[in-house]
């Protein structure tokens, strides 16, 4: 059975959403961050970076949130455009940009003390850089009118967008401050799979 090594609200949230959408059986394995479970020798064998999540899918042991989403969408039809199409290129573009640009900047915002002695300054600068990235998400949704991030179909990109937007909820101008993005986030939240994951991870309101 598929196993997702997770911690509530961590980067495992996006793969958790996709697994629930796919509807295959899977087991959740809690990585106890309070006890440094992500740095235990057993966990480091799964992910030498000591980061959550890890997915174990038969012989496949895979880390990196976006890679896990791509892998799941490869194994289970219906969550990615056909290979070789313009829509597939768009899907790759957004998946990679979201993880290597927006997610990376959000990590600086969450852990500014890792970047410089003046953590408050790093956090403030990261937030300034995140705002126009969120504007890009708004512009993308306005361009095609939705309902999902790439257009008419919910894809593996949607859980990543939803998770990263959720992570901005405590910022001065969170993702939901943008009207088209706010309506989109509400649509994702209302999906039955999202509701089940929110309940399983016991995420308090507001979710985003």
Ligand X SMILES: N[C@@H](CCC(=O)N[C@@H](CS)C(=O)NCC(=O)O)C(=O)O
Q: Under the rule (CB under 6 A), what is the footprint of ligand X?
A: 10-11, 38, 51-52, 63-65, 99, 107
- Give the residue nearest to ligand X (CB): 65
Select from 45, 25, 34 the least CA-distant residue to 7: 34
Identify which of residues 8 and 146 has a Cβ nearer to ligand X in the complex: 8
Q: Where are the alpha helices (DSSP H) in the chain?
A: 13-22, 41-46, 65-75, 86-97, 104-110, 119-144, 157-166, 179-190, 192-200
Within 10 A of 102 (CB to CB), how many other CB atoms are there?
24
Q: Specify whether the CB–CB gap between 52 and 5 falls below 8 A.
A: yes
Residue 6 CA to residue 201 CA, distance in Å, equals: 10
Six-digit token pair at 103?
């997610």
Identify which of residues 109 and 148 has a Cβ nearer to ligand X in the complex: 109
Angle at 183 between CA 78 and CA 96, to 5 degrees: 50
Identify which of residues 100 and 142 has a Cβ nearer to ligand X in the complex: 100
Identify which of residues 108 and 191 has a Cβ nearer to ligand X in the complex: 108
Whether residue 36 has a cis bond before it, omega within 30° of 0:
no
Residue 1 CB, nearest approach to ligand X (Å): 21
Q: Specify whether the CB–CB gap between 21 and 154 falls below 8 A.
A: yes
Residue 38 CB, nearest approach to ligand X (Å): 5
Identify which of residues 51 and 133 has a Cβ nearer to ligand X in the complex: 51
Identify which of residues 56 and 182 has a Cβ nearer to ligand X in the complex: 56
Residue 64 CB, nearest approach to ligand X (Å): 5
Residue 2 CA to residue 4 CA, distance in Å, equals: 7
Residue 188 CB, nearest approach to ligand X (Å): 19
Residue 11 CB, nearest approach to ligand X (Å): 4
């Amino acid at each position: 059975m598929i196993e997702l090594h997770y911690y509530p609200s961590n980067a495992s949230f996006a793969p958790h959403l996709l697994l629930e959408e796919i509807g295959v059986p899977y087991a959740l394995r809690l990585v106890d961050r309070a006890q440094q479970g992500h740095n235990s020798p057993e966990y480091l064998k799964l992910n030498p970076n000591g980061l959550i999540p890890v997915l174990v899918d038969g012989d496949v042991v895979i880390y990196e949130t976006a890679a896990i989403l791509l892998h799941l969408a490869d194994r289970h039809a219906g969550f990615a455009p056909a290979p070789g199409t313009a829509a597939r290129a768009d899907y790759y573009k957004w998946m990679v940009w979201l993880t290597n640009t927006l997610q990376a900047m959000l990590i600086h915002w969450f852990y500014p003390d890792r970047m410089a002695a003046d953590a408050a300054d790093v956090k403030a600068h990261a937030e300034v850089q995140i705002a126009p990235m969120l504007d890009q998400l708004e512009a993308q949704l306005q361009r095609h009118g939705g309902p999902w991030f790439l257009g008419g179909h919910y894809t593996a990109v949607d859980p990543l967008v939803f998770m990263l937007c959720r992570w901005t909820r405590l910022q001065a101008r969170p993702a939901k401050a943008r009207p088209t993005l706010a309506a989109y986030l509400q649509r994702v939240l209302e999906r039955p799979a999202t509701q089940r994951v929110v309940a399983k991870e016991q995420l308090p309101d507001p979710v985003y």
